[in-house]
Amino acid sequence: MTDSRDAAGLDAVLEALSFERRAKDARAFEDLFLRFQRRFACETLTRHQGDPQAFDAGRFFAEWVEEERGLAGEERARAFEWLAVNCGFNASLADGTCVRPWAAPERHEVRRRAGDGGVSSKVKGVEAHRLVVATVEGRRILADAALPLPVLLPLDPPAQEIPTGMGSLSATVAPDGSVRVTCDGRGEVAELLRLFPALTASSLLPEEGSRTPPGASTRHENDEVFALRLLDDRVLFWSAGRMTILDAWSRLEYPLPASERAALEKLFALELEGVALPEETHETPPAPATLRVFHESPVSADEARRRVARDAPALSLVVGRETWVEESGAGSRITIEAALAPSLPPQGLTETVRKTLVFHLVSELFELSRG
- For 136-146, what is each residue's pLDDT tens digit? 999 999 999 99
Specify the 3-state DSSP secondary structure of 29. helix
Closest C-alpha among 346, 367, 366, 113 to residue 249? 366
Q: With beta carbons less than 8 A apart as the criterion, state whether 120 and 110 touch.
A: yes
CB count in 10 Å sphere of residue 17? 17
Quick one: three-class SS letters along 207-251? Answer: CCCCCCCCCCECHHHHCCCEEEEECCCCEEEEECCEEEEECCCEE
CATH 1.10.1060.10 fits 4-219, yes or no: no
Q: What pLDDT does 200 receive?
A: 42
The strand order across the sheet containing 235-239 reads 42-43, 226-230, 235-239, 242-246, 250-255, 290-297, 331-340, 318-328
How do residues 283-320 score in pLDDT, each as one tens digit? 678 889 999 999 999 999 999 999 887 778 888 899 99
Angstrom distances, CA of residue 302 to CA of 15, 87, 263: 59, 57, 43
CA dist 34 and 152 (Å) reads 8
Residues 6+ apart with CB under 8 A from 311: none
Q: Taking residues 86-93, what's their average pLDDT?
A: 96
- Alpha-carbon distance 29 to 47, whole Å? 27
* Contact between 37 and 72 (Cβ < 8 Å): no
State whether residue 15 is helix, strand or coil.
helix
Q: Does residue 86 have a pLDDT over 90?
A: yes
- Distances, alpha carbon 27 to alpha carbons 36, 45, 141, 158, in Å: 14, 32, 12, 17
pTM: 0.87
Question: Does the pLDDT of residue 253 top 90, yes or no?
Answer: yes
* pLDDT bucket at 124, cuts 50 / 70 / 90: low
Can you tell me whether residue 367 is helix, strand or coil? Answer: helix
The predicted pLDDT at position 156 comes to: 92
Query: How far apart (Å, rounded) are the C-alpha atoms in residues 329 and 159?
Result: 25
**Averaged pLDDT for residues 80-90:** 96
CA distance 311 to 318: 15
* Res 6 pLDDT > 90: no
Lowest mean pLDDT among 81-90, 264-273, 362-371: 362-371
Of the candidates 234, 222, 229, 369, the one whose C-alpha atom is nearest the C-alpha of residue 303 is 369
- More confident call, 371 vs 42: 42
Mean pLDDT along residues 47-61: 92
User: From the DSSP assignment, how many helices (H) and strands (E) are in the chain?
Assistant: 8, 16
CA distance 245 to 183: 16
* Predicted pLDDT of residue 204: 40
Higher pLDDT, 116 or 40: 40
Residue 2: φ, ψ to 5°: -85, 145
Residue 215: burial class (beta carbons within 10 Å; 0-12, 13-18, 19+): exposed
d(CA 65, CA 336) in angstroms, rounded, equals: 46
For residue 171, the tally of other CB atoms under 10 A from its CB is: 20
Question: Residue 116: is its pLDDT beyond 60?
Answer: no
- Within 10 angstroms of residue 4's Cβ, the number of other Cβ atoms is 7
- Mean pLDDT, the chain, integer: 86
Q: What is the C-alpha to C-alpha distance for residues 289 and 280, in angstroms, rounded to an integer?
A: 18
In the chain, domain spans? 4-219, 228-369
Quote the CA–CA distance of 205 and 219 in Å, as a whole number: 25
230 band by pLDDT with thresholds 50, 70 and 90: very high
Can you tell me the mean pLDDT for 219-241? Answer: 86
The confidence band for 3, taking pLDDT boundaries of 50, 70 and 90, is low
pLDDT band at 217 (very low <50, low <70, confident <90, very high): low
